[in-house]
Amino acid sequence: MSEPRAPRVSRRPEAGTPSLRELARLELGGEVVSSVASEVARAVIEVRMGERTELVTVGRESGRLSVSATDARPGEAISPAARRALAWLADTGQEGAADARTSLLPTAPRAGTQLSARLSELAVAIVRSGVEVADPASVREALPRVVAELPAPPPLPVARWLGRLVSALAEADARQTARLLSAVTASSELGQPFASEERSFSDRRFVELARECVDAYGGAPIERRVLADEDSGELVLEERYVIAEGPMTASVGPCPRRLEVGLGLLRAGVPQRMRAQQYSVSQDISGQTWDRIEALACTVPVAIRTALDAFSAHPSDAEPVALLVAPSFEEGELCDGEGHKIPLSKEDAGAAERLVAEAQRERLRWVLVRWVTKESGLSAVPLAAAHRVDGGWRHLRLR
């Protein structure tokens, strides 16, 4: 390993108290060099406020601004340190007046400004043609006009919404189509998945429990990882496009694994989406950690009520996941011994068959599922499970 290099400093101290930007200009001798082959896409800025020192990370990703700061607080639009860092970066000489931590919808040069109108046109076309008509011309013409108003590729939540809508139409699922269109027709302002704020967090530990690929619009599926917060038990998602080329917005590695996130971003949703910025990864998951994961699992009736509440509150965007404690199966259906039975989804028949087969051989201590609602009602897509072996734990990845 090479020796760390000492930071380069100016050859002479400057009189007075020049700013960092002024010192940089002096160091360059007034010559500003630009290059089309490189750009500064991310910067970490140290902001000193009295006795406190805060770190602010500012980046540009897929045409949008992302800002995270160590002094961020839940529910706060933008922290004091982030405001000062943005003002310095914009060279305004003042704090500025930003209203949100991130752009609500990523923009790109080819993105238009008529998204709301185009979505309304799509909704009207679907309502007029109905879901029984296969591939109606009005819907086939309206959908590309929506996509033309989006960045390329579309933001992950929007691509997932479009993919689910296309699938619901192909399956003639009127109930699912109506749920998804509620994002367009519920109010004059677009909500999730088209607009959502991000907030920063720090010093949290996660265990990645499952991984799956889900359909999205445009041909490139989305790789989704489900992680459990070791302390709170909250289940969050980490997502990225599965494409041969382009930016990879999630880290790669085996499953299961443990993440210690020093700094990251959480995007509102059900579940919330996590993007780690400063983190370390380990495959060493202790027995005590697995015991803690089991303790965080809930019963099937509680999970069902929580899922139904999520679908009711966020019908167009919710894809709730749940960690179920010691479930059992009868005739291929998930049950808890209290009369509650939920069918396993046909979305992945292989995963469902393997789960039932494993449950017949070993007593499963917990099962991780993603809830889905179709015309037939609530069902569960099994993602992972675990049981005890010789005093230890065995993790089963099902997708």
81-94 per-position pLDDT tens digit: 888 888 788 764 44
Report the pLDDT value the prediction gives residue 27, as an integer from 0 to 100: 59
Of the options 2.40.50, 3.30.70, 1.10.1760, 1.10.150, the CATH number for the domain spanning 198-289: 2.40.50
Report the pLDDT value the prediction gives residue 102, as an integer from 0 to 100: 41
CB within 8 Å of 78: residues ≥ 6 apart: 67, 86, 98, 99, 100, 101
Question: Left if phi > 0, otherwise alpha if psi is -120 to 50, otherwise beta: which for 249?
Answer: alpha
Report the pLDDT value the prediction gives residue 369, as an integer from 0 to 100: 97
Report the pLDDT value the prediction gives residue 63, as an integer from 0 to 100: 63
Report the pLDDT value the prediction gives residue 338, as an integer from 0 to 100: 73
Those residues of the chain that have pLDDT short of 70 are 1-38, 50-51, 61-64, 74-77, 91-113, 185-189, 244-252, 337, 375-376
Report the pLDDT value the prediction gives residue 266, as an integer from 0 to 100: 92
300-327 per-position pLDDT tens digit: 999 999 999 999 999 888 999 999 998 8
- C-alpha to C-alpha distance for 217 and 161, rounded to whole angstroms: 8
Report the pLDDT value the prediction gives residue 353, as an integer from 0 to 100: 94
Report the pLDDT value the prediction gives residue 111, as an integer from 0 to 100: 44
Report the pLDDT value the prediction gives residue 211, as an integer from 0 to 100: 95
